[in-house]
Amino acid sequence: MAHSSRSHQGGGGDTDNLLRSHGNYEELAIIGTGAYGTVYKARDLSNDGVIVALKKVRVPLTDDGVPMSTLREIALLKHLDKYEHQNIVRLLDICHGQRLERERQLVLYLVFEHVEQDLASYLERVPPPGLPIERIKNLLKQILTGVDFLHTHRIVHRDLKPQNLLVSKDGVVKLADFGLAKTYDFEMRLTSLVVTLWYRAPEVLLAQPYASSVDIWSVGCIMAEMYRRHPLFSGSSEGDQLDKIFQIIGTPREADWPANVSINWTSFQCRPGTPFRYILPEICTAGTNLLTQMLQFNPAERITAGNALNHEYFKEDESTETS
C-alpha cells in the first residue's frame, strides 16, 4: 500500500479499533517481496483453512496516529471490492499487526484471494510456438476490462506488468497489487519505486506529470509480450529504455519533446521506427492498429481502455484475418 510522505491535516485515529488482529491467518510461505511489503501464502484458520494471499505492509505513524492517506486507501480498497469485479483480485480482509514504536510504524495485513500463478509464469509455461491468437485476445480483453473498471473509478494502477496480473486455473485474469494504485489527479509524478522499467511510459521515464494513460502504455507492452513471449522494451536505465522504445516506435520530433526534462532530445538518434509486423509476425492488421494506438509517445494520443475494448481487433474472426 502506497503512502504519501506529505503531511496530512487531521489525525488518522487508531486503526486498532477499526481492524481485527491478523491472528486468524497462518503464514505458510513467501510468495514475493516488493517495494512496499511482503506477500505470504497463508491459511485462514477461521474459514476452514482456505488459502489466501497475505500482504504485509508497514505504515508510518504520525503524531496523530495512522495518516489519513492510509485510511483513505483502505477505504478505497474496500469500496472497490464491493463491486466484486471478476478481473480485480478480491480483498477479503484487512487486519492490524503490531505497532513498532521505535520505528514509528504500524504493520497492516491485506488479505487477498489466492491465485496460483501470474501472467509471467503462465507465459513461461506455454509450449512452442506460443499462445494461440484467440487466447491472446481473450487475456488482453480481460486485462483491459479490469483497467477500464479502475479508470472509470478514477484509479490508476501505476504498476501493471505480467507479475501483477494473476491468471486463475479457469483462465480468468485478475489485476493485483494495488500497493501503488491511487485516485489520480493530473499532476502526479511517479517515484523511482513505481513500475518495472520495461513497462514504463515515456512520460514516466522523463519524470513528467501523468494520468491514466500510463496504464495503457503498460498494457501495450504486455500485449506485445504475449505475442513474443519476452518483453518488447528491456532497457537497463531510463535513457536506454527510451532508446529501445524509439528503435520501435520511432524518435519523436523535437517539437514534440517535453520541455524542462532531465534527458535532452539531442541525446537520441533520430530513428524511423520498426513496423510491428516485423517484430510480431503473427499479429493481424487490426492488432497492429490497436498496439500502435496504445504505444503513442504523446499520452494524450493513446487510446483509452474503453475505446480499446470496442476496437475491431476484438471483433474480427481469426479465419478472415491476414497478417
So what's the pLDDT on residue 317?
63
So what's the pLDDT on residue 195?
45
What does the alpha-carbon distance between residue 54 and residue 174 come to, in Å, rounded to a whole number?
16
Domain boundaries, the chain: 15-113, 117-320
Active site amino acids: 159
SS3 105: strand
SS3 16: helix
Q: Which amino acid is at 196?
A: T
- Domain 15-113 sits in CATH at 3.30.200.20
Q: Which of 243, 214, 248 is nearest to 228 (CA)?
A: 248
Residue 33: strand pairing partners: 38
What does the alpha-carbon distance between residue 230 and residue 194 come to, in Å, rounded to a whole number?
21
Residue with cell 489466501: 52
Q: Which amino acid is at 8?
A: H
- Across the chain, which has 323 residues, the per-10-residue mean pLDDT values are 33 50 86 75 92 86 77 79 92 82 81 92 91 96 97 88 93 80 43 66 91 96 95 92 97 94 93 94 96 97 98 75 41
φ and ψ at 26, to 5 degrees? -105, 120
Instruction: State pTM to two decimals.
Output: 0.84
Give domain 117-320's CATH superfamily. Answer: Transferase(Phosphotransferase) domain 1 (1.10.510.10)
What single DSSP character describes residue 229? S
Name 290's Cβ contacts closer than 8 Å, sequence gap at least 6: 223, 303, 308, 311, 313
Catalogue the E-assigned strands of 150-308: 155-156, 165-167, 173-175, 182-183
Q: Which of 232, 102, 87 is nearest to 148 (CA)?
A: 87
